[in-house]
Structure 1
């Protein structure tokens, strides 16, 4: 073709000193034209046909090929391949320009093949995330390692082409740089080891709700990568955590709670100690109208009467209330709370449900409620416990109990008014 171009230029009357330069320029323009046209056809026509075939296909896996631009990256190989093939055809193969263009084409092919393989690996990862029932396999980290190796091989090949040396020559020099490579890729190596440990021990998987206070992460895991783990917090921010931090530091995984079917509620009502007292018979009769504790009161009164009849009184003064067993308002209120929780439709009845006293403090006697809601949704969960405690705060005065709080301005105003 170079001879044909030279002959045509001679026929056009181009002077001899300019024929060589003109033939080179025309050859470069023809190469550029063919490469541009081939890329245009591949991108706008061939890809359109492939996209149409994929859209009409009943399979879903082939959609990922187009979503991750596999065919788009392969289409970019066409101009590089044509550049490699047409350069010795339109230019002198031994010329410096031809050598530069051919090396450029080979380097472009190396990296474009690496990008195409990377896109295929992304397709594999997407199919796994879509189809896998369990996501403990560290596929994402493994694929990232494969990508790293692919790009490393492409870089070595490209460097060998630029230096006109064998790739084995470059690989032999990497042995002396082992310590440097380990230092450079130490986070990658630790991340790979950590991802294998995370998978083997099933510590965390995408979709798990985890807490890492050290890194300010509190939300759902969206990706476990080779070097980082991405956590989407509940305020829609994304926290990036080193992968090895999940094995070197402690974190809380809420997966067990989600799988159990219940979500724990653990809160206390602080009772004013000065409001705790014994019940008399009139108060107990009034409380029998409360259906949830009617049977409890009847059983307790029967039990107390039987115990009193069996006791040897001797010189004991049974008229004093302290000398006989009595019901207290705090105990009755605790029984009411327990009965209220057991009949509540939003409380998980197959999990622990109890009401207990904690150590008395300077602010009062805490009654701690420990139970599980059957609804794990955050909004519903908060609404359930709010409804329960709303009811209990309102019910406490019916048992002659006061919920403790520090004096407020309203309390001081009432005290001054009464004074």
Structure 2
């Protein structure tokens, strides 16, 4: 009580002095109020400036001496700046009631504004801590590919909702509990307003728990034209940087409601699949004659196979007295079968092909474009540019090798082919 009286005496000293000098009571009161408020504001600004500089510099000194980066992120998120405002606010709270003791309406207004600011300041402090936590966890390997933004955004929404509830409680004079109960009646409207947020939050949890997508994954989402690496997962959207350096935003909920392709399995595997076919004209397939066989034996990759295989065939045909005057009788080799074996031997000998994964050369069902001979194997190098180079190198060779087996590749007739056919028909002698 004695301290209270002393402080009140100080705040009223100027007013009493002016009255003693013969000044009007009302004028002296307002001049004293103005001077006291000015002195308080000046003191608050000076203290706030000193404290902010002191707190920030202290934080910087502390962070330079520590090995952890968490405190570095605290500075970047303005945490010391917000903390430095606490003491000036306490100073205003402790003095304003003495300065405005005779002005109750103004006192209530100032305290009301101060209460609102304190609520917002608390929200800012929590926001700073959440941002710091998010940025720090992103530097940790075990959390670098997790959708941290989604969780932080949900917590931020929750903090702002609580803060707004306290603000409305201050404005209306109702308790926070009563205000929360009154919001229950409007829950349907709130659910409608925050529908996308709720769906995004649920999707973020499912994406994280089920490990559907991580930051850094290569995904293909044709519905949204996305084909590239995931750079960010937040509450509302997933940001994908496409390989043409454009960005695509995908609703987070679409990751669990629609179908997309995640290439992480390929990136984690020891090889990347090559699956492509060459189309052989069906009328170029034939049984191999002895002359053809001798010519094919000059191809080093398949010479041992042809020698061994032909001995087995000849032994079978001789044992069963097969009439070989007609090639279709008994067992025979075909140029297409030998080409398949050559393609297999070529892949087995290729240094860029992973031999411990699937390596298949097979026929597919005949089509109007010919017989597809499909190559299914895995390259050791999974980098996109090197993978394409390896694939092109393999098929360059196989396409060039097809004529050596008396086979022909299918190709749809072009305008030049039709023009040549027409010219030959026109120039042909009449019968």
Q: Take 1:363 and 1:12, find their aligned partners in 2: how far apart are those partners?
A: 113
Match of 1:106 in 2: 115
Q: CA distance change for structure 1 residues 388 and 47 in 2, over 3 Å: closer, same or farther?
A: same
Match of 2:297 in 1: 288
Moved more, 159-168 or 407-416: 407-416
TM-score (norm 2): 0.86
Task: Please give the residue correspondences for 1:59-138 in structure 2 after superposition, counting only pairs within 5 Å.
Answer: 59-77=68-86, 79-92=88-101, 94-133=103-142
Task: Please give the residue correspondences for 1:342-361 in structure 2 after superposition, counting only pairs within 5 Å.
Answer: 342-361=348-367
Q: CA distance change for structure 1 residues 292 and 13 in 2, over 3 Å: closer, same or farther?
A: farther
Q: Among residues 379, 392, 399, which one is paired with 1:393 in the alignment?
A: 399
What 5-or-longer segments of structure 2 have no aligned partner?
A: 1-9
Match of 1:364 in 2: 370
Deviation sequence 1:78-118 (CA, Å, 0-9, x none): 55444434433443374333322222222112112112112
Moved more, 338-347 or 15-24: 15-24
Q: CA distance change for structure 1 residues 235 and 30 in 2, over 3 Å: closer, same or farther?
A: farther
Give secondary structure in 2 for the equivalent of 1:133.
coil
1:28 matched to 2:37? The reply is: yes
Match of 2:336 in 1: 330
Match of 2:272 in 1: 263
Give secondary structure in 1 for the equivalent of 2:229.
strand
Moved more, 406-415 or 196-205: 406-415
Match of 2:3 in 1: none
Moved more, 131-140 or 161-170: 131-140
Give secondary structure in 2 for the equivalent of 1:270.
strand
Q: CA distance change for structure 1 residues 35 and 105 in 2, over 3 Å: closer, same or farther?
A: same
Q: Take 1:38 and 1:347, find their aligned partners in 2: how far apart are those partners?
A: 71
Q: Take 2:22 and 2:335, find their aligned partners in 1: how far apart are those partners?
A: 119
Give secondary structure in 1 for the equivalent of 2:274.
strand
Q: Take 1:247 and 1:12, find their aligned partners in 2: how far apart are those partners?
A: 81
Deviation sequence 1:30-82 (CA, Å, 0-9, x none): 33323332333344443134224313432233222223332233335455444
CA shift, 1:136, in A, is 7.9
Q: CA distance change for structure 1 residues 34 and 323 in 2, over 3 Å: closer, same or farther?
A: same
Count residues in correspondence: 416
Across the aligned residues of Structure 1 and Structure 2, the Cα RMSD in angstroms comes to 2.8
Q: Take 1:272 and 1:13, find their aligned partners in 2: how far apart are those partners?
A: 119
Give secondary structure in 1 for the equivalent of 2:186.
helix
Moved more, 125-134 or 380-389: 125-134
TM-score (norm 1): 0.88
State whether residues 274 and 378 of structure 2, in contact with CA within 8 Å, keep that contact through their aligned partners in structure 1. Answer: yes
CA shift, 1:358, in A, is 1.4
Give secondary structure in 1 for the equivalent of 2:185.
helix
What 5-or-longer segments of structure 1 have no aligned partner?
A: none
Match of 1:6 in 2: 15
Q: Take 1:50 and 1:149, find their aligned partners in 2: how far apart are those partners?
A: 28
